[in-house]
Amino acid sequence: MATNITKIFLVLNSGSSSEKFSLYEGEDEVCSLYFEGIEEGGKKVFICTVTKENGTEYVVDKKWNNLDDAFKEAKAIFEKEGYINDAHPLDGILVRTPAAGTYFSKHHIVDDETFVELEKAKVTYPLHVPGAIRGVKNAQAAFPGVAVMTMSDSEALTRETRKDALYALPKEVIKEFDLGRWGAHGSSYGYVMGKIKELGILEKKMVICHLGSGCSVTAFIDGEPVYTSMGETPLEGLMSSTRTGSIDPTVGALLGEKLGAAEAIKLMNKQSGLVALAGSSDMREIIAGAEEGVEEAALAYNMFVDGVAGKIGEFAAKMGGIDAIVFTATIGERSIPVRGSVISKLGFMGFKLKNDAAMDKSKGYTNVAEDDSKPVYVIPTNEAAYMIKKASELVDAVEK
């Protein structure tokens, strides 16, 4: 049975004090609801902003005392706008879940086992999993009878081709905590590699750099993942906007002993990385500061670039070379300085950028390399599109 690309899905993004539902028809986002808390009269209330596909938006004329109550009316708001009705019912609701153990290395339609596994996952993901649990429960309450699916952030990386999936820890410890280098940004890598194959630009040995608020690098041979920079959690690997990146595990242990595990994990996830070094998590501000001679900004920028170039170099050594490099996500797609700084360190590998490369969005990709260079592609990612494709496959499998 062919996948129906006109299925209607809601993609849920649960924050610590907010919820966002993005409604998709096929791969096209047609409407979103954003529930957030504001201060009013000395207390916190929640409002909902509706954004339509043409970019117009308005705030719903109602306030709620808590997020759960607000969210229960999501279905009514979508119905009032005419996006959901008996003739156009929802096919499913998608909740992105972190790569916390074997269970979440795959996508699932939520059942009782899902909640058991989510509770287990709180051990390594105390910041992210509670939001996912709340999101799933809110979705079930607001849209009774609609399938809710947990979409794995590591599924596209969980392949037998991976050569770096294990930690050098005692087997009994691995088993007890279900540990592994699951990786993350899987929806982005899955989408970009699919696009590479579709465009006919697949090379034997490729490295994709997902550089956004979170950053990772993954190496592929013949289109299959072999190495990735993130591990059991996204803390491993590259420094990013607010994450430390790889550090001596003893530092994490000492922080955990002093602050408690949850607070230590929060510090390393939310208060570190670029924001700790430069006082900003925005790469544009850091670049501007570095150009103005701000020492902290220059340090943060150089450490970031060294981290990305170093990881590419590591993967080149492990694969015996690289035939093409791809940049994606917000920084990767938009920051010419970052791409230039990274590639300038890789000239010895046969890579060189054009000085005036312009994006050609009509092709879905741009080769920003000089004519005598190996390819350096910029390919916009679309994580929601990948999740919707996989959710459609899940739904179709159940309907067969």
Kindly tell me if the per-residue pLDDT of 399 is higher than 80.
no
Question: Is residue 265 one of the residues assigned to a domain?
Answer: yes
Q: What value does the mean pLDDT take over residues 147-155?
A: 94
Same-domain check for residues 208 and 282: yes
Q: Which helix (H) or strand (E) holds 20?
A: strand 18-25
pLDDT score at 100: 77
Q: Which amino acid is at 166?
A: L
Domain residues for the domain of 77 are 8-90+119-145
210 and 332 part of one domain: yes
How confident is the model over 36-46, as a mean pLDDT? 89
DSSP 181-224: ---S-HHHHHHHHHHHHHHT---SEEEEEEESSSEEEEEEETTE
pLDDT at 289: 97
Q: Give the Cα separation of 338 and 241 in Å (integer).
A: 14
Q: Evaluate whether residue 45 is within a structural domain.
A: yes
Q: How far apart are CA 200 and CA 224, in angstroms?
A: 15
Query: Same domain for 288 and 359?
Result: yes
Q: Quick one: 252 and 129 in the same domain?
A: no
- Give me the number of domains the chain comprises: 2
259 shares its domain with 130: no
In terms of domains, do 232 and 340 share one? yes
Asked whether residue 360 falls in the same domain as residue 217, the answer is: yes
User: Could you tell me if residue 393 is inside a domain?
Assistant: no
pLDDT at 1: 34
Catalytic residue among 68, 153, 282, 396: 153
> Could you identify the residue written with the tokens 């969005």?
361
b/e string for 87-119 if b means 16 or more Cβ within 10 A?
eeebbbbbbbbbbbbebbbebbebeeebeebbe
Q: How many CB atoms lie within 10 A of CB 69?
A: 10
The pLDDT tens digits of the residues spanning 358-387 come to 666 677 899 999 999 999 999 999 999 999
Residue 196 domain-assigned? no
Domain final position from 145, 162, 188: 145
Does 237 lie in the same domain as 371? yes
When pLDDT is cut at 50, 70 and 90, the band that residue 388 belongs to is very high
Given this model, what pLDDT does residue 185 score? 95
Predicted confidence (pLDDT) per residue in 66-120, tens digit: 888 887 888 888 988 888 888 888 999 999 888 778 999 999 999 999 999 999 8
Beta bridge mates, 32: 22, 51
**Is the pLDDT score of 351 beyond 60?**
yes
User: What pLDDT is stored for residue 305 in this prediction?
Assistant: 98
**Confidence at residue 16, expressed as pLDDT on a 0 to 100 scale:** 62
Confidence at residue 97, expressed as pLDDT on a 0 to 100 scale? 87
Residue 171 lies in a domain: no
Q: Can 323 be counted among the known catalytic residues?
A: no
Mean pLDDT is lowest, of 67-81, 175-189, 272-286, for: 67-81
The C-alpha atoms of residue 379 and residue 209 are separated, in whole angstroms, by 10
pTM: 0.92
Q: What is the pLDDT of residue 117?
A: 93
- pLDDT on residue 400: 64
Q: Are residues 137 and 20 in the same domain?
A: yes
Task: Say what the pLDDT of residue 99 is.
Answer: 79
CATH number at residue 135: 3.30.420.40
132 and 257 part of one domain: no
Identify the pLDDT of residue 327.
Answer: 97
Residue 14, in any domain of the structure: yes
Question: Tokens in use for 327?
Answer: 């940049």
User: From CA 254, how far away is CA 214, in angstroms rounded?
Assistant: 24
What are the residues facing 377 on neighbouring strands? 326, 367
Task: Grade residue 398 by pLDDT with cuts at 50, 70 and 90.
Answer: confident
pLDDT category of residue 3 using cuts at 50, 70 and 90 = very low
* Predicted local distance difference test score (pLDDT) of residue 364: 83
